């Protein structure tokens, strides 16, 4: 028996409806898949590219700065490309131009020459790319932001540590690189601590020399201190303390002292908590270093760089990360700046600071002490 006309029509309608539903579902599934692909492509296109410009890799800490910076940036979905200028500011300026041509969204710069590095900011701003100065201020330019440790406090802590050991006597104040603004800030902190000490104790600190180095260079420091020791010995002036600006130059100063059999007899400061300095402290040839938690500096800088690339305002960035926005004049403008806190380190608190934080292992710090004891 055949189907009646009415029943036949109903079957046709049902089949057509099912076909339409199937086509519609397939259409939207296809569009959904295309939408996911487009979204992935969009996210890839929106991935922030950070240009990290380092002045040198010579100082022990900079490899760690890069590693911590890259780690945080990549967790946040950004890409980091890095270049090292090997102490050549012209080369760094060229590297910045190359990065800008490659389409970076933000530059993070550790400059060599604080004034001539200003060209980087000019070139970047011509392409609407913001610039963050990392641990060294760039002068005379429209710099977007600056992050560092409180360098005046670094100098203050250095001097306080030395004054605790040597409350009176003849001091050499060895300045860092004359081209680096941080050297001046460290010196200001040292002088502040000395002035406070003299006022509060009535004791006198005689500054035999307060000249600056050309570079943060261990060998230059060794030669300079060696010449001073010869000079002051001829003048019958005993040196009681050397305020060296960082651990590398402290190593040079201690090498000069060792040549005169004065290592361990003259108090010496430093900063950066390099392994060699920490070893010298527990061995007794260096008095104090200042530990600057580089992981905090680098990871905070990575967050700032990404936020700058997204167009966020410096004051909003500082507040969102829980920091106060300080204003530091660079000769052209008051630059929004974030200061992290340095930490005073001596033989007495080595385990509670550097070792506890995982900066160096106890085994490495005390390696030579065990050898001496054995």
| Rounded Cα–Cα distance for residues 227 and 241 (Å) | 16
Give the chain's end-to-end CA distance (angstroms, integer).
110
* Pair 137, 120: CB distance under 8 Å: no
pTM more than 0.75: yes
Q: What is the mean pLDDT of residues 322-334?
A: 95
pLDDT at 32 over 60: no
| CA 155/CA 333 separation, integer angstroms | 25
Confidence of residue 46 (pLDDT cuts 50, 70, 90): confident
- State whether 308 and 327 are in the same domain: yes
pLDDT at site 68: 95
17 in any annotated domain: no
Mean pLDDT for the chain? Answer: 90
- Checking if the pLDDT of 274 tops 60, the result is yes
pLDDT of residue 61: 77
Burial 213-223 (b: 16+ CB within 10 A, else e): bebbbbebbbe
Q: Is residue 100 part of a domain?
A: yes
* Together in a domain, 77 and 193: no
Is a pLDDT exceeding 70 seen at residue 8?
no
Show the tokens assigned to 252: 């040079």
For residue 241, which of 261, 257, 222, 217 has the smallest C-alpha distance? 257
Between CA 271 and CA 293 the distance in angstroms is: 11
- On whether residue 118 sits in a domain, the answer given is yes
**Residue 157 belongs to domain with CATH number:** 3.40.50.2300
Residue 247 and residue 186 share a domain: yes
Residue 1 has pLDDT above 50, yes or no: no
Give the pLDDT score at 10: 61
Q: What pLDDT sits at residue 371? A: 52
Q: What is the pLDDT of residue 121?
A: 98
CA nearest to 361, candidates 284, 282, 247? 282
Q: Which domain holds residue 278?
A: 151-292+344-373
Which phi and psi (to 5°) does residue 149 adopt?
A: -90, 165
pLDDT at residue 11 is higher than 70: no
Question: So what's the pLDDT on residue 27?
Answer: 57
Q: Both 327 and 363 in a single domain?
A: no
* 8 inside domain: no
Name the domain count of the chain.
2
227 & 365 share domain:
yes
């Amino acid at each position: 028996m055949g189907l009646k006309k009415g029943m036949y029509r109903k079957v046709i309608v049902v089949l057509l409806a099912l076909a339409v539903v199937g086509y519609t579902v397939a259409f939207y599934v296809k569009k959904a898949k295309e939408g996911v692909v487009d979204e992935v492509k969009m996210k890839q296109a929106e991935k922030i590219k950070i240009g990290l410009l380092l002045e040198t890799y010579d100082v022990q800490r900079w490899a760690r700065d890069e590693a911590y910076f890259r780690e945080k940036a990549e967790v946040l979905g950004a890409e980091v490309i890095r270049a090292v200028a090997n102490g050549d500011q012209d080369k760094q300026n060229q590297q910045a131009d190359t990065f800008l041509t490659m389409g970076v969204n933000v530059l993070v710069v550790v400059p060599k020459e604080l004034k001539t590095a200003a060209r980087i900011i000019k070139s970047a701003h011509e392409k609407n790319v913001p610039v963050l100065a990392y641990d060294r201020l760039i002068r005379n330019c429209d710099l977007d932001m600056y992050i560092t440790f409180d360098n005046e406090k670094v100098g203050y802590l250095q001097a306080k540590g030395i004054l605790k050991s040597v409350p009176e006597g003849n001091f050499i104040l060895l300045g860092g690189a004359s081209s680096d603004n941080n050297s001046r800030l460290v010196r200001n902190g040292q002088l502040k601590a000395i002035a406070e000490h003299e006022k509060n104790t009535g004791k006198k600190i005689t500054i035999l020399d307060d000249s600056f180095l050309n570079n943060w260079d261990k060998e230059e420091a060794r030669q300079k201190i060696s010449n001073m020791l010869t000079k002051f010995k001829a003048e019958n002036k005993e040196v009681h303390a050397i305020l060296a600006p960082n651990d590398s130059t402290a190593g040079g100063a201690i090498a000069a002292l060792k040549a005169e059999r004065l290592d361990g007899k003259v108090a010496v400061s430093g900063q950066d908590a390099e392994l060699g300095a920490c070893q010298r402290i527990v061995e007794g040839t260096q008095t104090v270093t200042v530990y600057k938690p580089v992981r905090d500096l680098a990871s905070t800088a990575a967050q700032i760089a990404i936020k700058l690339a997204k167009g966020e305002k410096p004051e909003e960035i500082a507040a969102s990360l829980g920091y106060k926005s300080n204003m530091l004049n660079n000769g052209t403008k008051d630059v929004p700046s974030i200061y992290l806190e340095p930490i005073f380190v001596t033989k007495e608190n080595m385990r509670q600071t550097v070792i506890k934080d995982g900066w160096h292992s106890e085994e490495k710090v005390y390696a030579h002490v065990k050898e001496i004891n054995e």
